[in-house]
Structure 1
Amino acid sequence: MDTPTVILIALASALVAALISRVYSLGKIHRKLNYMLDALEDKETNFHFSEEKFWYRRFNRTLNRIHILYDRERQEIAEQEQYYGQMLDQVRTGIVVIDLSRKWEGQVIYSNASARNLLGLATFSHIRQLGNIHQELENAFWEVSSAHEQRNSYYNERGKITLSLTASEAMLQAKQVKIVALNDITGEMVHNEELSWNKLIRVLTHEIMNTVTPIASLSHTLSQELDLETSARSLDWKELKLGLDTIASSSDGLIKFVNTYRSLTRVSAPVKKAFFVRELIEKVQQLTRESLHQAGAVCSYVEKSEDILLYADADQLSQVLVNLVKNALQAEATKIEITAEIDYAETVVITVSNNGRPISAESQEEIFVPFYTTKPEGTGIGLSLSRQIMRLHNGTLTLGRSDKRMTTFILHFR
């Protein structure tokens, strides 16, 4: 074999070897790239390519740099998500993000702390959980949309809760989602109800007083004149005087009646000062001791948090609590328990429970309405006045429950 032929064969062998080496190197590079992409897609970042071998040092170094940049970017995004999550947890509006995709429909992707607190849920993973609270609440979450606000009322350990729900739809990570905002409008509803009744009471008071006052004055005047008149013997003055006295007496009673209800619209502003709740309860127990003794009942106090302080008008709050205790005694209760605690929102909650006759389902909706009473000698202003006092303290008074086992009223101070 001549020299040129040998040279050609050597060159061809070298070319083939180079091609094989190149194909092998490209295959290895391709496998490394696929491995890294698969790992990043699975959110697995615990890998590192060796930079010791000469042939792949520069390439592996480049891959490791890409990995570092990706990991840094992912950490910054996670920190931003944590920051926005903490911001959303601080707002009082509840936020719930719901998956609307066919496969995961109804699954809760995100809920902030306010939403879970409003709904009374430790964890919130699916809308179906709301059916355990109130079926209509679950339906409201399904039906709420950007065009239709939903309102729903239900009872929990805090009493009657009214929520306002609004929603909008968006795309999140290629998924169609519904973002629901929920707000507790219980205080607003109660406030509007009280304003309406206050307007009505003012009108009634004005009209009745304008009518009754002249009648009472005239009746008293005529009665006094008849006592001095002796000349006219043809009329039965005794009978006339008796009738006028009756009118005067009835008018006085009606004026007293109206003045009693007038107190509903003229609750004085609270004179607030700091005091311990246990001191307030001791005062209430002292004020109701005789009534409790006569009824053979016991009123106990349980403080679930230590040294609970209130900044309020102690006299007005004692009036509220005394009214609740007396209502319990009128319902033939033998055990009355008052509790106080600081809840998850760092607000003071006082409950008054008794084992007396339960309030009927019909009456539960009306007991806070002025003039409403189920007692023969009741005025119907006790609970209305108590609720107004709580309103002046930026708090609420609600009926937590009333059944054969227990009736509980809840005072919540915000």
Structure 2
Amino acid sequence: MKTKFYIIQIAILLLGLIFGILAFDCYESGKWITALLFLCLSVFMIILNIRNAQQSGKETEQILQAINHKDFSLFPDKKQNDPLKQKAVDLYYQEKEKNTDVLSFKILYENILNQLDIGIMILKENTNDWEVFYSNPKFIEILKVPKYNRWSLYEEKSPEFFKLIKDTDYRESQDFMEVSINQAGFQTYSLRTTRLETPREDFCIISLESVQKIIERKEKMAWNNLMKVISHELLNTLTPINSLIRNMEYITDQEEISRDDQEEIKESLKIVNNKSEQLLNFINNYRQVAELPKPKLQKISIRPVIEKVLRLMESEFQNKSITVSTNIRDYMVMADEKMLERSLINLLTNALHAVEDLDNGKIKINTDQQNTRTVIQVEDNGIGISDQISDKIFLPFFTTRNSGSGIGLTLTKSIMEAHNGYINFRKQQQGSIFELWFT
């Protein structure tokens, strides 16, 4: 195609040149009419060549402009004689295919976002201002406002929401807002904003999710996890009991019971008794968590409580050659002293088991105050907490020790929540830190 185009162009030019020479020759010979005819043919060939070049250039420019404006409504032939136009056509169809892929993904992503039960709005920065790039139906349903393209219009329709977003400076944040659901009440929503910076444009992603649904989802997950643990414990206890009882039934059905059978019955009864005690301990441990009494809050000094617990556990630390260091500043907190003691014993017991196999096991207790909150920290240099179990350590009856009950951290968490505080843990390069936070 490329060669053919150039041959045609050259042929037209040569014909124009030949006709020009013939016109000149006829002019010299005095053949005026023939000279004029050849001159017209020469001019025609030159004009034809120029028009072909102009037409091809115009069509090439039109295709390039279509690519530039993302207008893919043209359908040029995929085979062109002009090599430059051919390249433009190839580029056009490449960009058209890319644009089709982008549109397909856009439709897919919009459909996914439209199905979410979370309100999503995406703002795009435009010359130091913001415009609405996208908002899903759930977002419009929550705010009960029309779907605007101009961000500034939301200031009038939903001023509280607009102010919350503006105060974040369109950057990473988390807050709560109340939305009227009817004339009688409100519903609380978790409001999150995230800044996304791309090489060409900046976006602010806003999400609104019902706090009630978040709580329900977490409660359901906690309940399912608890049922798994309880089912596992019951099966592990009742399955061998059931097997032993069937075996004893078989023995007692015999006409005569030998001495060996009698010994086997005695051994089976001991195992049944042992398993029954395990099940009772399991139930009692569950009751400790489920029936936690209301704390008797009073203003207490935390230093004497910590020192008392350390004295109680001193012999255990010495037996395992564990070094305990303290950096205790005395602070006053509103707490139930007995419950605080129990929480500290749980954390120190866990720290002890984490370092008991080390030659240089160390436990450190710190106290600090940040703003109006008081914190007690128990730090160890033990094996630490792996990522695989970090989200399970506060679940009831979850334990990594064969002799553990799995309620220590769960009970401590419940105690701290009853004190309007919380328990937190942080992983270190070696070991971990558990913190009790009081208001």
From the CA coordinates, give the structure whose radius of gyration is larger. Answer: 2
Q: Which has the higher contact order (CA 8 A, sep 6+)?
A: 1
TM-score normalised to structure 1 length: 0.48
TM-score normalised to structure 2 length: 0.46
